[in-house]
Structures are given as structure tokens and as C-alpha cells.
Structure 1
Amino acid sequence: MKNVTDSFVSLGHWPSAGSFGFNTDIFATNPINLSVVLGVLIFFGKGVLSDLLDNRKQKILNTIRNSEELRRGAVEQLEKAQARLRKVEMEADQFRVNGYSEIEREKLNLINSTYKILEQLENYKNETILFEQERAINQVRQRVFQQALQVALGTLNSCLNNELHLRTISANIAMFGVMKELTD
């Protein structure tokens, strides 16, 4: 390992290599560390995320099935209402002379109420689907964030030793002192 480090360090002294060298500054290499952490998160988080999405998909499909059953019930109610409408129409023919306008109003009210019920059920189904999708997306986001945070903290804790931790704190305190002097 020392030979590899020495070869990187010695690259900076070659005239054809330009300004290439081995960077030992931990703050300058944070993008590399973050890309490694993100790569690990993506690699290990895929399965968990896939399982979460599959579970949410099943819940959404169950909700859709329930909504479809509700729709079927509404269609049955519509068919019953249509049968009742046919019956009302037959009665209307018998009582046309006595109460044609009253029967017509009842027919329109029946049709309107049936269509309103169907519309309400369709709206309920659509709202339920959208709500479940949003809830699934929010839960997945929250779990991915928690897992990313746990992995990042684990990586950070495993990389920091007491000496490095104290040096980092000292450097930050010095930066705050310089910032305070600049603002004063």
C-alpha cells in the first residue's frame, strides 16, 4: 500500500505529469466520499426500495380492486335504477293523463341521483388512488432518507478516530473565529 501511495505522490514531481498529485486533504475529497456512499446506498438500498415499492403496489392494487368492487356495486344500483325506471315508464303510460309531469320529474330525479352516486363513487376511487400513491411515495422517500442517513453516519463514524475528530473540531473553531473577526 505504501508503494501505491508513494507512486501517486511521486507523480507530482514528474515534469510531464503537470500538477497531478495525491490529495490527502479530507475536505477536498468529500465529493469522492459522497459518491462512494451514494453508490453503496444505491447498491444496497435497491432491494429494500424494491420491496417497499412492491408492498405499496400491492396496497394500491387492493385499493383499486376495492374501488372497482364499489363501482360494480354502483353499476348494479344503476341497473336496478334502470329497471325501476322502466317500471316507472310503464306506469307513466298508464297514468299519463293524470300525472305525466309528476312522473317525468321523478324519472329525472332518479337518473340525476343515480349519476350523482356514480360520479361520487368515481371521484372517491380516483381520490383514493391518488392518496395511496402520494402516501406510498412519501413513505418510500422517508425510508430512503433514513437509510441514507444511517449509512452516512455509519461511514462517518467508522472513518473518524479521536485524533481526526479533534482536528476537525479545532479547524471548525478556527474558521468560526476568522468569520467572527471578519464580521466585527
Structure 2
Amino acid sequence: MGSIFWLIAEVGAATSEEGGFGINFDILETNIINLAIVIAILVYFGRSFLGKVLAERRSNIEAEITEAEQRKQQAAAALADEQQKLAQAQQEAARIRAQAEERATAARKAILDQSEKDIQRLRESVNQDVNTERDRAIAELRQQIAALALQKAESELPSRLNDDVQRNIIDRSIAMLGGAS
């Protein structure tokens, strides 16, 4: 409304004879009627058009706000879901780590137990090998001693065995055979 008065004052100033500023109240000379009709037509027809444009703009803005709120809610839900998945993944990683540590402990214990068994088996094997070697050495020594004893006996027998000693040995042997039967 203030712009109408400004328009009237400007139009009146342009028609002023003195060249100064002033208000012209002559309705026909200032075209106030024409301006009022144009403004009334603009207000009458423009109100529905402008109202429609503003209503559409308002509904578009409301729709965009609603859509933005829905996207925000979806993003919040997705964030919560991903945080839950992250927490589950961290729990799973902790469980896997604990299982790996348990397996490593069990494997270390099994290896140590097997090593102890292997060491014991090796000790027994070494002891058995030593005993076998000792028994073989003893048997070999016995054979050598027996062979040496026979050699010595054979070498000394002809010098010690005379006819009287041979008869005594034969008699004793017969007596033993006779007494045993």
C-alpha cells in the first residue's frame, strides 16, 4: 500500500508546473483510477495464482522436509545397524582370538607331551641298545675265553695226561655212570 502512495506522489511530481516536489490530488490527471483498476485486477487474479504457486511451493517444501526427515531416520537406523554389526564383529574377533590362544596353548602342551614321550622312548632305546651291546660283548668275551681256555687246555693236556691219570679219569667216569643208572 505504501508503494501506491509513492507512485501517486511521483506521478504528481512529474506533472507539477513548478518543477518541485508535490502531491497532485487530481484523480483524472494522475491516472489513479487506472492504477486502482490494474492493482485490483492484479490482486483479484494474482491472488489465486500467487496463492496456488505459494501453496505448491509450501507443499514441495513440506514434502522435502518430510523426505529429509525420513532419510535422517533411515540413516540413523542404518548407523545403529552398522554399529551393532561392528559390535558383533568385534565380539566375534575376540572369540576367535580366544579360541586361537586356547588352540595354541593346547598345541604347545601336546608338543611338549610328545617331546617328553619321544625323549623317554629314545632313552629306553639307548638303554636297550647299550644292554644289547653289553650282552653281545659279554657273549663274545665268553667265547674268546672259552676258546683260549680250550687252547690252553689242549696245549697243556698232553704234558699232564699220562697213563695213570687217564685210567683214574676213566674209572671215575664209569663210576659216575654206574652210580647214576
Structure 1 length-normalised TM: 0.37
Larger radius of gyration: 2
Query: Which of structures 1 and 2 has the larger relative contact order (alpha carbons within 8 angstroms, sep 6+)?
Result: 1
